[in-house]
Structure 1
């Protein structure tokens, strides 16, 4: 039996299958774990969607929007991230208004460092 490094596996094996050899090593379990990845990935992705078509519609839009809303890695401070998201929401609001969807209501106040300090 090949498992990862979890110590409780040894105790369970001694109780249930005492004659079976137990090999516990960091790299030995990779093949078994990796064979489950596509199934686990699909389970995680499909969670909350009723059909694969609904998922596909969401993913086709989400991938483009993620690039707009997620700040670049170079902007790591909270203020820069906040300002980036405010700008992204302003752009999103402008696009949503053009397309006729006026349900989105977002505050686009620009925060300065003085505002953040007080």
Structure 2
């Protein structure tokens, strides 16, 4: 099973989608679904996998793709909490449970994870102290 995730420029997870295959048919389905819900992006950062290029050509947004050595870091770092949780659960056995968990995890992670780069140090310390007080 493959988990496709769309992440915005601030690191928030926009969309999670599970497929059985990671191929040219699954990529456009995911991109169309994400664009239908969140609109057309100005740029799309991907890794160097060739199926992204083919899928974007099929959709007609090939010129918006960016591929770089470290450009994909925000997406890769957004996977870390999910991978940690998946390891604790000792993998998923069904696609349906993975899809449910991925969508719920994305919503709770976006809500409770403080985006450190968006607030100054003093505000961050106050919020952290208030959260730990309970």
TM-score (structure 1 length as normaliser) = 0.36
For the pair shown, the structure with the greater C-alpha radius of gyration is 1
TM-score (structure 2 length as normaliser) = 0.32
- Which structure has more relative contact order (CA 8 Å, sep 6+)? It is 2
